[in-house]
Amino acid sequence: MAKGAFKQKLGLLDLSLLGIGSMIGSGWLYAALTSSGYAGAQTGWAWILGAIIVLLIGLVFAELSAAIPRAGGFVRYPNFSHGNVVGFVIGVSSLLAYTSTAGVEVEAVRQYAQYWWPAVSNSDGSPTGLGFAVQILLLVGFFLLNYWSVSFFGRVNTIVTLFKFIVPLLTIGTLFLYFHGDNLNVPPPPPGGAHGIFSSLTGAGIVFAYLGFRQAVDFASEAKNPQRNVPLSIIIAIVVSFIIYIALQYAFMGAVPEKALSANGWDGLKKVFQSPYADLARSLGITWLINLILVDAVISPAGTGNIYLAGASRVLFAWARNGHLLKVFGQVDAKSGVPRGALWLSLVLSVAWTLPSEFQVWGGLIGAVTSATVFTYMPGPVTLGAFRRHLPGMQRPFRLPIAAVLSPLAFIASSLLIYWSGWSVNEILLPVLIAAWIGYAAFGKKGVNASRDLHCAWWLLAYYFALMLLSYLGTFGGINAVGSPVDMVLVTVASLVCYYWGVAASLPVPEITDEDELVPDGSEKITGHYVRN
């Protein structure tokens, strides 16, 4: 593969639609029903809180990506500030999150396609042999869309995302014609209140519906004027998605027939509405909306899967550039400006997620890995704190205001999201990350900086253990040994301790590599100094 560089082809609209296209995926079809089962009409507060939390995290990465635009920046920034151990473990989180999402989205396409093509699914909803073939062919199609050039990928995504806009907007406008204000007076199921709101943030997929803002960061090396367009696109994507989602939430809740609601309550509607918006439209007799939603239910996850396959290749590229994968995966094709080696690996890993459960690479992890995305955000505030401390004069086209306050708040918010995900998720995911930390510390590459990198990473191991203990003892799927709100106070305190420990343990001179792999004397170029490979 001839070595090349990324081509800066993506403008502000492209970057914004990458984020929105990731957020408005298959999740919009279920989030309103699921969240109402947790918090009833109070679920609007969950959408507001979720948007605030994700915007706070997004602004941290807006500063980092504007100052240092790098492909797969979520993986590279922790490596720059804390060395190889931290960078490797965060790479594991990203690998799980990205490659699984593309595979899961094509499964969603197949499941919805069974309405018109029953042969792709068995009676229990599992894929037939033909269904598996369809899923793999979809991933191959995404691969080809990404293979030729980033500009072609951007044009296709723009067209698909515009369609994904139209259907939710038509759904909102139509359902509000059937709005019953009294529906909002129906109380949520126990425990409701604040606990229901917090649970719905993760349990109903509210926060994860917003997490697509990361695409602008992952594609920063391919953005026109990234110093301006990356921060703007992060803000635009979050704000636009929030407006669409909260309108969908109340349009759905207000249009539910009063008879169905009184008979089942908010939590019982899941038994009535298997495909929430389509079944709601059917109960209201809106035939054209049923068909439109079912078409979108195929297109939306396909568009999201396409974006995440592309994003996965940038993450694997970044992991290779950090030195944790073969160099072939850290190269860019000279003609297309695409990291084709990493794209091939993304395809293989995504296909692995679609295999029957007895052959899946990670088996039981399939239900938990989407939560791994939050683990990739958590180091960002620590890295920002480290850069503010050690590189006060670094050029920052976007500067996070009152970073001394907002950066630790973003770290606390990330920790609470992980905690709210519940013990059933954390008991699987946290041991994997702890094992990755220990495995790399014991068996990873041992260069001259190995002991230094280990010293920079102890805070992360302590953080994982603290979260696992609190999740086990707490009220979100744990044994309830620590009640609410004491559990969340303890998570906040542990987060603050680990945040300031992480900032203090960072590299005194952050090793920020240039996009060019090597300088003429064979050293890797670092901002401010050179380090021998």
Kindly report the three-state secondary structure assignment for every residue of 115-175.
CCCHHHECCCCCECHHHHHHHHHHHHHHHHHHHCCHHHHHHHHHHHHHHHHHHHHHHHHHH
Return d(Cα 351, Cα 467) in angstroms, integer.
32
Q: Which among 61, 523, 74, 82 is positioned nearest to 317, based on CA atoms?
A: 74
Q: Kindly give, in sequence order, each residue whose CB lies less than 8 Å from that of residue 138, ignoring residues fewer than 6 positions away.
A: 106, 109, 110, 302, 305
Return d(Cα 418, Cα 467) in angstroms, integer.
8
> Tens-digit pLDDT profile for the chain (533 aa)?
445 666 777 888 888 888 888 787 666 777 888 888 888 888 999 999 999 999 999 999 989 988 998 888 889 999 999 999 999 999 888 888 777 778 777 887 887 788 788 898 887 777 888 988 999 999 999 898 888 876 777 677 777 777 778 889 999 999 999 999 999 988 887 777 888 888 888 777 787 778 778 788 888 877 888 888 888 999 999 999 999 999 999 999 999 998 888 888 888 887 888 778 888 999 999 999 988 888 888 888 888 888 888 888 888 998 888 888 888 888 888 888 888 999 999 999 888 878 765 444 433 444 466 567 788 889 999 999 999 999 999 999 889 999 999 999 999 999 998 898 889 889 988 999 999 999 999 988 778 889 999 999 999 999 999 999 999 999 988 999 999 889 999 999 999 999 999 999 999 999 987 654 333 333 344 444 333 33
Return d(Cα 149, Cα 6) in angstroms, integer.
10
pLDDT of residue 368: 62
Q: Which among 126, 153, 170, 169 is positioned nearest to 303, based on CA atoms?
A: 153
Residue 85: its H or E element: helix 84-113
Q: Residue ranges per domain, the chain?
A: 12-514
Q: What are phi and psi of 462, to 5 degrees?
A: -60, -40
Burial of 25 (C-beta count, 10 Å sphere; 0-12/13-18/19+): buried
Tokens of 85: 């151990």
Buried b (16+ CB within 10 A) or exposed e, 386-424: bbbeebeeeebbbebeebeebbbbbbbbbbbbbbbbbbe
- In DSSP terms, 526 is beta-bridged to 513, 529
pLDDT of residue 421: 82
Residue 33: its H or E element: helix 31-39
Q: Kindly give, in sequence order, each residue whose CB lies less than 8 Å from that of residue 215, ignoring residues fewer than 6 positions away.
A: 15, 18, 19, 21, 22, 237, 307, 311
Q: What are phi and psi of 176, to 5 degrees?
A: -65, -20
Residue length of the chain: 533
Q: Is the peptide bond before 485 cis (omega within 30 degrees of 0)?
A: yes
Domain 12-514 class, CATH top level: mainly alpha
pLDDT of residue 213: 80
pLDDT of residue 342: 92
pLDDT of residue 226: 84
Phi-psi region of 438 (alpha: psi -120 to 50; beta: other; left: phi over 0): alpha
pLDDT of residue 27: 67
DSSP code for 328:
G
Contact between 435 and 89 under an 8 Å Cβ cutoff? The reply is no
Q: Which among 475, 469, 426, 415 is positioned nearest to 199, based on CA atoms?
A: 475
pLDDT of residue 516: 45
pLDDT of residue 345: 92
pLDDT of residue 449: 87
